[in-house]
Amino acid sequence: MTLTQVVWAAVKILIMVGFVLNLAGILTWVDRRQSAMIQHRIGPNRAVVKIFGKEFRLLGLLHTAADGIKFFTKEDFMPPRADPLLFMLAPIIAMASVFALLAAIPFGDTICPHQFLVHVPNIFTGPAVQRWGSCPADPKNGAFPIDLSIAPLSVGILYIFAISGQGIIGAAIAGWASDNKFSLMGALRAASQMVSYEVTLGMSLIGAMMIYNTIRLDDMVRWQSEHAWGIFVQPLAFFLFFAASVAENKRIPFDLPEAESELVSGYFTEYAGMKFGMFYFAEYAEIVTGSMLLVTIFLGGWALPFFHRDGLTIAFGKVEIVRSLVPHLWMTVIGVVAFFAKVVVVCWVQAFVRWSLPRFRYDQLMKLGWKILLPASLANILVTGAVWLALDEAGQGASDALRVAADVTQAVVAVAMTYFLFRGVLGLLTPVKHKQTLLGTSAEEALKRGGTKATPMQA
């Protein structure tokens, strides 16, 4: 490994780990702030910084900083009869398995440094690279293609399955080593829930692998860039994967392992200080990594509608409307920004899910996983295979029709993204107007039903 490759590996690690750490911290604020907005409350406003006699609350962002200080300064408690080694090892496993997933997730297209070496004076205005094929290497100048993933593994999604399953071990060890019945019950719930929904998580992706004809995550994104996003070719698998990933993260409505009303705090009831902080932070980091996988496999990854490696090309079938070549550097930057923006949006949607749905009962949770989601994922594989074989036998006419349909989906995505971006900006600039609507009172409802019966008070 050359010095250049070592530097690039360090840069990619800093980008991915830094993004996950910062976004996970912001998500703790989003949960507080968004729940307050949904429930019409004030929200986080207690953490204050005074500068020259003036108070600054920063929309409640200081609560996240206060959480970090609290985790580092609280007493590191351990139950007297706990297993010391396993008790300390559990939060490390929970945290490490999440960040190990980042190694195989691509956050941008391959960088072709040969273009920068040949056109050094024109890095920002130089020519575009080829739309298809791989980047050429320049061994004489030490320039080799740079994949924008920490470890571009050929096994791709199989590595994701192998690492994601290790999170079960952390939860199980934490519950058993705490010597607490509530912790043990939470660990058993976590293990059974994560095993159950991991089956659906894996089965939902088989149809996508059949369509993309690869298990490499970067090749999946390139297929979507040239054809249609995965949500259009595998719509059922998208919703199955989303539901299973929320269950894997143990978030509401799937937070049975941590149900406060039943198990105090579940498998990390006995944890305090930074050990609890690692479990707490790992949960939010799981949201980010799960969103990254969802974006990569079903939402085009770094790709944007009609943007390809060589620039902007608006075409429907063989009819080309607009073609504009864009320098390679700008296309790379646009792709990286697009990937991280999509991840932020998906994380935001998961926050809406948390504050919109009630918690399932445990038997409902298991029935949903084994009797609904898993059969649906198997049916998706069967239908995908049948449709794929039928289209393969249909001939060139069907291929041309699918090409046009894929371009139409790109246009639909482009229009939808433009609309929501416009509405989002408009919503931020428009002042909020609170309007209270009184639908009725309990007294009115009682009168409609004949009133209440007055009975003598009992001693």
Assign 459 a pLDDT band (cuts: 50, 70, 90). Answer: very low
Mean pLDDT of 210-237: 89
Say yes or no to pLDDT of 168 above 70.
yes
Say yes or no to pLDDT of 343 above 90.
yes
pLDDT attached to residue 128:
64
Q: How many helices and strands in the chain, by DSSP H and E?
A: 18, 5
What is the pTM for the complete model shown? Answer: 0.85
- Rounded to whole angstroms, the Cα distance separating 109 from 222 reads 8
Assign 277 a pLDDT band (cuts: 50, 70, 90). Answer: confident
Most confident of the following: 105-114, 115-124, 261-270, 295-304: 295-304
Assign 337 a pLDDT band (cuts: 50, 70, 90). Answer: very high
The token pair at 214 is 């690869």
The token pair at 426 is 């408009």
Assign 121 a pLDDT band (cuts: 50, 70, 90). Answer: very low
* Contact of 296 with 288, CB cutoff 8 Å: no
Over pLDDT 70: what percentage of the chain?
Answer: 90
Hey, where are the domains in the chain? 3-427
Say yes or no to pLDDT of 120 above 60.
no
* Contact of 239 with 373, CB cutoff 8 Å: no
Say yes or no to pLDDT of 458 above 60.
no
Angle among Cα 193, 194, 196 to the nearest 5 degrees reads: 65
- The mean pLDDT value of the chain amounts to 82
Assign 375 a pLDDT band (cuts: 50, 70, 90). Answer: very high
- Cα 413 off chain centre by: 19
431 vs 93, more confident: 93
Angle among Cα 48, 54, 55 to the nearest 5 degrees reads: 20
Assign 81 a pLDDT band (cuts: 50, 70, 90). Answer: confident
